[in-house]
Structure 1
Amino acid sequence: MAARRERARGALLGLAVGDALGAPAENLKPSQIRARWGRVTGYVAEHPAGTDDTEYAIFSGLLLARHGSALTPAHVEAAWHEWIADRDEGPFRGAGFSERGTLENLRRGLAAPISAQHRHAWSDGLAMRAAPYGVFAAGRPAEAARLVAVDGSVSHDGEGIYGGQAVAAGVAAAMAGAPTVAVVAAALAVVPDDSWTARSLRRAVTAAHRGERAVRRAVVVGGYPWTDLAPEAVALAFGAYAAADGDFAQAVLTAVNMGRDADTTAAVAGALAGAARGIDAIPAEWAAAIGPAHGSCLPAMAGHHVLEVADLLTTAAQRTPEAPKTPKTPAAPKTPDAPHARSPRVPS
């Protein structure tokens, strides 16, 4: 069984690998992916690299390593100012609307939770940076969900928070070696049963045995122009993870080939599978392509590597008393609803 450090490294390197694999397919339909590449089976970019998903995950990981379980909304807000809002933006390529709306509100002097009152508080921007919370709170899904909601209070609300909580809890369960069904159950246990996120997640994992097309049909909101809906993206990621039964390569490639917000869905699927199987489950040629962050979205994150962040979180977690691990055989997911019309360093 993979040790905690290997699982932590697997989770965050898995996130970065999934992000880099999925980036070229972002916002594409499966038919467009097939027309360009047939089927994506590896990197299709000449220089694969993580996007805003990886850089924001590094941001949240560094923040959590600094404060641990004592994290407060004030800490998160201060970090947004220190590392993002009060700096020159630089290229700031690839940031989502939820992040841009949050930055605008923070720069206007608004504080959490008012800073999260923008038109995209339902986005998957929290879900994409949620994995570090599961790494830190390994075996404690409820604590992972609590902490990621603190992070999300600055930038998200409602379904945006639920998406982040589902991912953080799922990674926390996977970090403890839980089987796929238990990882899904842990995610469902921390979000409201009647939420859009929970309904989509149940539909996705129930359809998973029929493959990626069935998962996509069960979840995707047809005709809606935005692909970063948290309930959709999180469900696609868990559906890909369930369809692969935790196999790393199959999970991330399933997510990539479903299109939509492919960098985020593959990043989340990669974090889940990497946490469950450890860093050795990631193909060596994929892992070798991931270097320190370029800072193309967040200049303050340039030079930090996800493996360094994983090690920081492992060390920080060792200073936190352990809670009982996730039970090995929790209840199976509920019946779905019917489908509807960097050496490690922390910036100071």
Structure 2
Amino acid sequence: MDNKMPFWQYYYDKMGSWLDFAREIETEYRQCLFEGRDVVKYKPLVDLINTMPSAEEKDIMADAMYKTLQMTPLRSDFTYVEPSDLCGIKDARPEWRKQKVSLTEEEINGLIPKIKGAWYGRVCGCLLGKPVEGWRTGNIQKYAEAQDNWPLTRYLKKDEEKCRELGQWSGGTFIDTINGIAPSDDDTNYTVTAMKLIERYGKGFRPDDIAFEWLTNATIWAYCTAERVAYRNLIAGLKPPESAVYHNPYREYIGAQIRGDYFGYIAPGDPELAAEMAWRDASISHIKNGIYGEMFVAAALAWAAVCEDPVEVIRAGLGEVPQNSRFFHEVNDILELYLAGKPAEEASKMIASRYDEKIGFDWCYTVSNAMIVAAAVLWGKDYTDAVCWSVMQGFDTDCNGATVGSIWGMMYGAGSIPDEWTAPTGGKLRTDIKGYYEVSIDEMAENTIRHIKTK
């Protein structure tokens, strides 16, 4: 980003590009490659469209290419089986998945430390990664080193001079700029949106109910990438699951993966229910591995409520996604590496060898970030170590910090999160959700306990 450019100008230019499909035709091509479609022969034409000036002709060409890519069959050597429908996903799960653990009302009431841990863990993990979201690992390290904070062990403070030196924007949400309340962020907006959804519809909500909540609770500017496209599609009259596909090159981006936490919070001991609710949510905007990411996180959190073994928590998440999917294979490779006794550095190398954070698609892809989440949960020695390790890997720093913090906090409770992480928030959170612009984190946890008992 050009530091001389006003941030609002950069922001709206970037946000607008997410709805301009022609500008993202290269992303669509890469998405089709990842889906296993035999599209390599179309690369020269994609490159040609990419170089065209923005005009009606480019839009027409991009739309024609979109239809062509969508109709292209899978390669014969693509052996993954990746359904997007719930029945297909359930049929493709591993046989060893976790079975429901039923809790008494007394046991549910006793979960409050874990639920608070999940909420605070998510908010604080997000706050750690938020100011360096979009930065690449090298710049994160240089910035942190200038504050004698590498390896990371605490929040980052604002340093305008260092930001200028690194060519990074200095207006991010650094810890010394938040004024005693955690700022709004899509990573926490979605958690509050899900809470509001359950308050209104209970656990039997439908994808259409979520779509309605999106359209009535926040403007399109509160949503990013896949969610913004889905929002546009919903306004245009497309319903789930069609809203997830049309002109949506981000359909396997990380957006759904950051929306599943609350469904895990309210289904303790029941990863199947958590994953099913996550599917209903994800199907609005994502397909295949984009959906699996949300199901994985929700199921892992549901099991973390009744288990303090990170290996079993990761297995609980994997147990609810198709066993022969890219998502399962990649995250399971991280798990196998851990079980083989390898150090965390080997996980970093594995992720970097398969995904390039300098490529926007890889940076925001569900699977690359899920690998980071799994590794941080597995190798993390404590809350600080886990969330800091996840942010140090680069990629989507605030999303991963939030998800890792949420899982860790659920496993070990609010008491496992040191005061230096929680105190700056003042126990409060801002959101962009109507009726919840400023909330008490403790009250959100109390609401969660009530929703666990909701049918």
- Over 3 Å counting, the alpha-carbon distance change for 1:300 and 1:204 in structure 2 is farther
Q: Which of 100, 103, 109 is 2:237 aligned to?
A: 109
Residue in 1 aligned with 2:448? 313
**What's the secondary structure of 1:121's corresponding residue?**
coil
Between 185-194 and 19-28, the greater mean CA deviation after superposition: 19-28
- Contact 2:122–2:401 (CA under 8 A) maintained in structure 1: yes
Query: Residue 60 in 1 paired to residue 190 in 2?
Result: no
Residue in 2 aligned with 1:15? 122
Cα deviation code 1:45-91 (max 9, x no counterpart): 2235452111122112221233232111121111112112xx4x5xx
The 5 Å alignment of 1:1-348 reads 3-38=110-145, 39=150, 40-44=152-156, 45=174, 46-48=176-178, 49-50=182-183, 51-84=185-218, 87=219, 92=221, 95-117=223-245, 118-208=248-338, 210-220=342-352, 221-222=355-356, 223-226=358-361, 227-244=363-380, 247-290=382-425, 291-295=427-431, 298=433, 301-320=436-455
Letter in 2 for 1:215: A
Cα deviation code 1:87-130 (max 9, x no counterpart): 4x5xx36x421121111111212111111111111111111121
- Contact 1:65–1:313 (CA under 8 A) maintained in structure 2: no
- Contact 2:279–2:291 (CA under 8 A) maintained in structure 1: yes
Tell me, in whole angstroms, the C-alpha distance in 2 between the residues paired with 1:167 and 1:106.
Answer: 25
- Over 3 Å counting, the alpha-carbon distance change for 1:76 and 1:25 in structure 2 is same
Letter in 2 for 1:309: M
- Over 3 Å counting, the alpha-carbon distance change for 1:316 and 1:160 in structure 2 is same
**What's the secondary structure of 1:289's corresponding residue?**
helix
Between 128-137 and 53-62, the greater mean CA deviation after superposition: 53-62
- Contact 1:10–1:280 (CA under 8 A) maintained in structure 2: yes
Once the two structures are TM-superposed, the CA of residue 211 in structure 1 deviates from its matched residue by: 4.2
Tell me, in whole angstroms, the C-alpha distance in 2 between the residues paired with 1:294 and 1:9.
Answer: 17
Between 216-225 and 178-187, the greater mean CA deviation after superposition: 216-225
Residue in 2 aligned with 1:339? none
- Over 3 Å counting, the alpha-carbon distance change for 1:206 and 1:136 in structure 2 is same
Once the two structures are TM-superposed, the CA of residue 207 in structure 1 deviates from its matched residue by: 3.5
- Over 3 Å counting, the alpha-carbon distance change for 1:69 and 1:299 in structure 2 is closer
Between 217-226 and 116-125, the greater mean CA deviation after superposition: 217-226
Letter in 2 for 1:37: A
- Contact 1:126–1:163 (CA under 8 A) maintained in structure 2: yes
- Size of the aligned set, in residue pairs, is 312
**Structure 2: tracts of 5 or more residues without a match:** 1-106, 157-173
Tell me, in whole angstroms, the C-alpha distance in 2 between the residues paired with 1:181 and 1:316.
Answer: 27
| More relative contact order, 1 or 2 (CA 8 Å, 6+ apart) | 1
Tell me, in whole angstroms, the C-alpha distance in 2 between the residues paired with 1:111 and 1:306.
Answer: 33
Letter in 2 for 1:234: A
Which TM-score applies when normalising by structure 1?
0.83
Tell me, in whole angstroms, the C-alpha distance in 2 between the residues paired with 1:179 and 1:132.
Answer: 20
Between 298-307 and 29-38, the greater mean CA deviation after superposition: 298-307
Tell me, in whole angstroms, the C-alpha distance in 2 between the residues paired with 1:212 and 1:257.
Answer: 12
> Which of structures 1 and 2 has the bigger CA Rg?
2
Once the two structures are TM-superposed, the CA of residue 176 in structure 1 deviates from its matched residue by: 0.9
- Contact 2:296–2:321 (CA under 8 A) maintained in structure 1: yes
Tell me, in whole angstroms, the C-alpha distance in 1 between the residues paired with 2:360 and 2:430.
Answer: 29
Once the two structures are TM-superposed, the CA of residue 146 in structure 1 deviates from its matched residue by: 0.4
CA-atom RMSD in angstroms: 2.1
Tell me, in whole angstroms, the C-alpha distance in 2 between the residues paired with 1:175 and 1:315.
Answer: 15
Tell me, in whole angstroms, the C-alpha distance in 2 between the residues paired with 1:66 and 1:238.
Answer: 32
- Contact 2:308–2:412 (CA under 8 A) maintained in structure 1: no
Between 29-38 and 248-257, the greater mean CA deviation after superposition: 29-38
Tell me, in whole angstroms, the C-alpha distance in 1 between the residues paired with 2:436 and 2:328.
Answer: 32
**What's the secondary structure of 1:231's corresponding residue?**
helix
Q: Percentage identity across aligned positions?
A: 25
- Contact 2:153–2:385 (CA under 8 A) maintained in structure 1: no
Tell me, in whole angstroms, the C-alpha distance in 2 between the residues paired with 1:36 and 1:213.
Answer: 21
**Structure 1: tracts of 5 or more residues without a match:** 321-348
Between 206-215 and 146-155, the greater mean CA deviation after superposition: 206-215
Tell me, in whole angstroms, the C-alpha distance in 2 between the residues paired with 1:26 and 1:214.
Answer: 24
